[in-house]
Structure 1
Amino acid sequence: MRPWWPLVAVCLGTFMLLVDVTIVNVALPPIAASLGTSFGGLQWVIDGYALALAALLMVTGTLADRFGRRRLYLVGLGVFAAASLACGLAPDPGTLVAARVVQGVGGAAMFATTAALIATTYHGRRRGTAFGVWGAVNGLAAAAGPLLGGLLTQIWGWRAIFLVNLPVAVLAVVLTLAVVSESAPTGGGRVDVLGAATFTLTSAALVYGLVAAGEQGWGATDTVVALVLAAVALLAFLVVEHRSAAPMLDLALFADPSFAALMAAAAILQAGAFAHLSLVSLWLQSVLGLSPIRAGLVVIPLSVASFVVSVAAGRFLHGGSPARPIAGGLALIGVGVLLMTLVGPASGPWALLAGLVVAGLGVGLATPVLVSATLAVLPPHRAGVGSAAVNTFRQLGLAVGLAVLGTVFAGRVATVLSGAGTPDPTTTANALAGGRAAAVVGDGEATTALVHQAFAAGLDRVFTVAGVGALVAAALVAVWVRPAATREPEPVSEGAPA
């Protein structure tokens, strides 16, 4: 067992940072009730974490090469633990969102170093075994998140989903200090501070603008200012990266249609398969009245299906193009999410089952080979940036996808309420999206049917947009990522994290 203790130390951090992506969904209604936040606030609880991961993954990878992977992993664990404590004690929505952003900073430091620590610790057959276990832990984190979140929330309250990280982080730190050796710093490259700053500003302003559009409308001052700022920041990012001698993201890579299609696929996979789950959780708990544990159990089929298939999907790494399982997986996600449009005003949670299973099969098929497919279309010396880019676009896809689908949902609900003669449809739609359906229904029994109808209509529109987006991404991969353009990839296992 002694040779495997470093793997245990690395996997503890990996599990913790990835489970925090999915564990929050089930706790959103209790968070909304406890802190009195809107759906925009709830979105930022998820997006703050995802954006920090997306913005800093490539930067922290460079820092790890310069200062040492073990050292940065330990720093990440410390930051993550401190931020988790702040999340658990947060007295208001603003503090919670800020702490989630800091949590994402720590998560980025861990996520950027775990694979490198394994690669430098293990060699030969042990390395393959270690990466297999690490990939399984990735998938297990996604599978365990909803159920673990439901259990902790129902038994101890929503704050427990953050406080539980503290003993795990302490154990990971102790083990890392005791059994993980430091890899010699390589000096790394120059840290692209301007690139990271403009990328972060672009992403944050875009998400803020989309969230504001859902709550205030597309013509609102906040919406317009944020979207204009996002456009300006994007232009600045493109200029900075074009002129930088050591860019955070080499824009020349996007001249290859295969690489560009795979980055789009990575983003849309996360958005199509996972971004709608926060709204599903709100529907299950605030409209249907399910407990957090039961709500977590409802979405477990997606996680379990993806975990089982991802374990078996390794055979696609040998022979043929890894683009095939990605395109097939995205198509399954699209079909699965479109199946969830069967949800209607009188539907119960079982209406989601078939769609969740089919979407989960797609996630399990596509996710484990995303990195391999990217490495197959890049020269060997670009392997590091290719792997980091995939994970960056996955987290960015989750953040932007949630903002887009939240705006789609709010718009559709407001339209239905307006058609029914609701005096202030926008405010009522925001109340429903913020998990306050009980308060709306409390105005009278006559409104119950309208609430169910409006929420179902909003979910129908969200599932349609997400499903069609996944099918379009599948077509992009099938058309642009051609087998003839790929080389045989090195096996890379990364499970199916959300």
Structure 2
Amino acid sequence: MTTSTALGAASAPPARRPLRGRPGLTLVGVAFGLFLVGLDATVVSIVNPAIAAEVGTTFVQLQWVTHSYLLGLAATLILAGKLGDRYGHRTLYLAGLVLFTVASTAIGLSTTAAGLIAFRVVQGVAAGALMPQTLAMLRATFPRERFGMAVGIWGGVSSIAIAVGPTLAGALEASYGWQSVFFVNIPVAAVGLVYGLCLLPRTSFPATGRFDLRGVVVLALGLVATVFAIVQSETWGWGDPRTLGLLALGVLVIVGFVALEGRTEARTGDALLPLSLFRGTTVGTGGLMIAANFFVLMGVTFLLPMFFINLRGATALDAGLMLLPMSAVSIVAAPVGALLVARVGTRATGALSLGLTAVGLLVLVGSSATSPYGVMAIAFVVLAMGTGMTITAGAEAIVGSAPVHLAGVAGGFQSTCIQIGGALGTAVMSAVVAAQVRSGAGGLGLDDDGLQGLAQGSVPADLDTVAARVAEDAYVSGVHAAYLVAAGLVLVAAVVAWVTLRGARRATAAEVVVETVEGEAGHA
């Protein structure tokens, strides 16, 4: 080589890396879908009264308008993660965005309860298609040393969407009607679709083996039966033979699915959910943390609007504004969790965050119809800090510890834990409130409609002063009991996290290099 050639080579400008697939731009791209999924999990609780008044739904139908979304999500998450790993995460993500937009439009145009429920299922399926791909694309584009912070921001977006949902829904419903809550999805999804087509990476990990169709069918049946039983328990009751039978069937089918996957993985290696993902305790404990976290987050978000609107007489917009501290703190909670994970590991961060969540719930136990809002706002801040940090620690335990080529499956497992935890949270906490109402107000002579209304915070107007106070106390006691159940659950999860998770994990230089190369290969 001549000197002039060497100098020319040295002075040549470095090749510019294309925008598509850059980690920061990928994080912005997946935030569109992530925000929509979280938003539509909570907005319906605020507009349910308006839907009931305009569409004429029964109480049971109104419950299904809320929960059919979770049913569609739960049935598709792990399958969608596997399809994304095989055929392309971006493809599944963008297809999910398109279907989500179509379903949102159809919901806003629906005039019957059957139409609302059916299109909410479709919306849930679309959310299930795109949700696992968000983490998978982050896992494939961010090097190991920066993945924790990416998950922190990812968790922050999710927390903000869930917490801001009631506020946004109240404002939209007051100004434009309940349909606007679903129509607002259209411009957000449209921008996300164009952005994704231009800048999201084409990540996939193609497999040459057979697709595990049997696993798909068995898992879908098990999850649908389990979630259906959980949701219907609010109507049938937890002790009803139908609830217990369907729940037992769902659990047995899921156990059978695990056994089937173990045999499939041993024979061909083509399992839908490779059990090798669960070697050790990290992924399983992360799933427990995430499920317990969303048990609290979705359960509390379901109960609080009714507490403010029906018991304290707030408007839908006022109720949304009262929940603003949760959304405001959520902006910083997940990134703070990411910093803690990087410094002290998932073990300490997970135990601390779940402990904070329990403290927030215990503060709420002191709330009543006349308690100062400031005390409740403090509880919301502590609660949001705990739930936001837990999202980060749980995601790091599940997706961060999974091999890159199983990132979609790990993301699907995490999202399934979110939905099952959320469904259990709304069902169990509502059942606790209803049981306490029946016990505490049983001597007032209320019929079923009156008791169901009281379980939602509506004290019957025809009661005298003494009876009304008894009814109000029964409802408040039920809400407190629900908070105590949730606090007990997250404290158990905190102990499990402390006992089973390893301490701080810092990626070595070799790991960062290997995983960066794997990520580059995934979107090359």
How high is the TM-score relative to the length of structure 2?
0.81
Do structure 1's residue 208 and structure 2's residue 223 form an aligned pair?
no
Of 85, 88, 98 in structure 2, the residue corresponding to residue 68 of structure 1 is 88
Q: Aligned letter for 1:318? A: A
Of 362, 384, 388 in structure 2, the residue corresponding to residue 364 of structure 1 is 388
Kindly provide the CA deviation profile for residues 39-66 of structure 1, in whole angstroms up to 9, marking residues without a partner as x: 5544433433234333322211222233
Does the CA-based 8 Å contact 1:37-1:434 persist in structure 2?
A: no
2: distance between equivalents of 1:417 and 1:159? 36
Do structure 1's residue 249 and structure 2's residue 273 form an aligned pair?
yes
Give the structure 1 partner of residue 8 of structure 2.
none
Does the CA-based 8 Å contact 1:214-1:407 persist in structure 2?
A: yes
Give the structure 1 partner of residue 479 of structure 2.
459
Give the structure 2 partner of residue 432 of structure 1.
454
Give the structure 2 partner of residue 421 of structure 1.
444
The verdict on how the C-alpha distance between 1:6 and 1:398 changes in structure 2, with shifts beyond 3 A counting, is closer
Q: Which moved more, 1:79-88 or 1:52-61?
A: 52-61
The verdict on how the C-alpha distance between 1:382 and 1:126 changes in structure 2, with shifts beyond 3 A counting, is closer
Of 69, 73, 89 in structure 2, the residue corresponding to residue 49 of structure 1 is 69
Equivalent positions of 1:464-475 (< 5 A) are 464-475=484-495
2: distance between equivalents of 1:346 and 1:219? 34
The verdict on how the C-alpha distance between 1:29 and 1:466 changes in structure 2, with shifts beyond 3 A counting, is farther
Q: Aligned letter for 2:299? A: A
Give the structure 1 partner of residue 13 of structure 2.
none
Kindly provide the CA deviation profile for residues 9-42 of structure 1, in whole angstroms up to 9, marking residues without a partner as x: 4432332222222333332333344445455544
Larger radius of gyration: 2
Secondary structure class of the residue paired with 1:276 = helix
The verdict on how the C-alpha distance between 1:239 and 1:99 changes in structure 2, with shifts beyond 3 A counting, is same
Secondary structure class of the residue paired with 2:313 = coil
2: distance between equivalents of 1:85 and 1:200? 26
Secondary structure class of the residue paired with 1:158 = coil
Q: Which moved more, 1:313-322 or 1:396-405?
A: 313-322
Does the CA-based 8 Å contact 2:34-2:157 persist in structure 1?
A: yes
Aligned-residue CA RMSD in angstroms?
3.5
Deviation of 1:181 (Å): 5.9
Deviation of 1:479 (Å): 1.3
Q: Aligned letter for 1:312? A: V
Do structure 1's residue 316 and structure 2's residue 340 form an aligned pair?
yes
Give the structure 2 partner of residue 303 of structure 1.
327
The verdict on how the C-alpha distance between 1:409 and 1:211 changes in structure 2, with shifts beyond 3 A counting, is farther
The verdict on how the C-alpha distance between 1:45 and 1:312 changes in structure 2, with shifts beyond 3 A counting, is same
Of 320, 327, 343 in structure 1, the residue corresponding to residue 367 of structure 2 is 343
Do structure 1's residue 403 and structure 2's residue 423 form an aligned pair?
no
Does the CA-based 8 Å contact 1:257-1:481 persist in structure 2?
A: yes
2: distance between equivalents of 1:188 and 1:348? 62
Q: Which moved more, 1:194-203 or 1:131-140?
A: 131-140
Deviation of 1:149 (Å): 1.5
Equivalent positions of 1:122-133 (< 5 A) are none
2: distance between equivalents of 1:94 and 1:115? 33
Equivalent positions of 1:201-280 (< 5 A) are 201-245=221-265, 246-251=270-275, 253-254=277-278, 256-280=280-304
The verdict on how the C-alpha distance between 1:323 and 1:376 changes in structure 2, with shifts beyond 3 A counting, is farther
Deviation of 1:274 (Å): 2.8
Give the structure 2 partner of residue 496 of structure 1.
none
Secondary structure class of the residue paired with 2:344 = coil
The verdict on how the C-alpha distance between 1:392 and 1:415 changes in structure 2, with shifts beyond 3 A counting, is same
2: distance between equivalents of 1:192 and 1:338? 45
2: distance between equivalents of 1:460 and 1:133? 32
2: distance between equivalents of 1:259 and 1:15? 24
Unaligned runs of 5+ residues in structure 1 are 493-498
Of 281, 300, 304 in structure 1, the residue corresponding to residue 305 of structure 2 is 281
Q: Aligned letter for 1:325? A: T
Q: Aligned letter for 2:382? A: V
1: distance between equivalents of 2:400 and 2:92? 29
Do structure 1's residue 155 and structure 2's residue 175 form an aligned pair?
yes
Give the structure 2 partner of residue 93 of structure 1.
113
2: distance between equivalents of 1:221 and 1:35? 32
Q: Aligned letter for 1:96? A: L
Aligned residues: 486
Does the CA-based 8 Å contact 2:312-2:369 persist in structure 1?
A: no
Kindly provide the CA deviation profile for residues 417-469 of structure 1, in whole angstroms up to 9, marking residues without a partner as x: 11x33243x4422233457x26x325666653344222212101111101111
2: distance between equivalents of 1:214 and 1:179? 44
Q: Aligned letter for 2:439? A: T
Deviation of 1:104 (Å): 1.5
Give the structure 2 partner of residue 355 of structure 1.
379
The verdict on how the C-alpha distance between 1:38 and 1:346 changes in structure 2, with shifts beyond 3 A counting, is farther
Kindly provide the CA deviation profile for residues 389-415 of structure 1, in whole angstroms up to 9, marking residues without a partner as x: 223212221112211222222111111
Deviation of 1:211 (Å): 4.1
The verdict on how the C-alpha distance between 1:237 and 1:434 changes in structure 2, with shifts beyond 3 A counting, is farther
Deviation of 1:174 (Å): 3.3
Of 125, 133, 139 in structure 2, the residue corresponding to residue 113 of structure 1 is 133
Give the structure 2 partner of residue 495 of structure 1.
none
Do structure 1's residue 373 and structure 2's residue 373 form an aligned pair?
no
Deviation of 1:156 (Å): 1.5
1: distance between equivalents of 2:240 and 2:153? 49
Deviation of 1:79 (Å): 0.9
Q: Aligned letter for 2:304? A: V
Q: Which moved more, 1:466-475 or 1:234-243?
A: 234-243
The verdict on how the C-alpha distance between 1:74 and 1:430 changes in structure 2, with shifts beyond 3 A counting, is same
The verdict on how the C-alpha distance between 1:44 and 1:114 changes in structure 2, with shifts beyond 3 A counting, is same
Unaligned runs of 5+ residues in structure 2 are 1-17, 516-524
1: distance between equivalents of 2:177 and 2:98? 24
Does the CA-based 8 Å contact 2:152-2:337 persist in structure 1?
A: no
2: distance between equivalents of 1:307 and 1:164? 21
The verdict on how the C-alpha distance between 1:211 and 1:417 changes in structure 2, with shifts beyond 3 A counting, is farther
Of 80, 83, 102 in structure 1, the residue corresponding to residue 122 of structure 2 is 102
Does the CA-based 8 Å contact 1:211-1:407 persist in structure 2?
A: no
Kindly provide the CA deviation profile for residues 331-379 of structure 1, in whole angstroms up to 9, marking residues without a partner as x: 1111111211112354465552232121111112222222223356656
Do structure 1's residue 292 and structure 2's residue 294 form an aligned pair?
no
Q: Aligned letter for 1:285? A: I
2: distance between equivalents of 1:432 and 1:30? 18
Q: Aligned letter for 2:454? A: L
The verdict on how the C-alpha distance between 1:272 and 1:118 changes in structure 2, with shifts beyond 3 A counting, is closer
Secondary structure class of the residue paired with 2:206 = coil
The verdict on how the C-alpha distance between 1:305 and 1:129 changes in structure 2, with shifts beyond 3 A counting, is closer
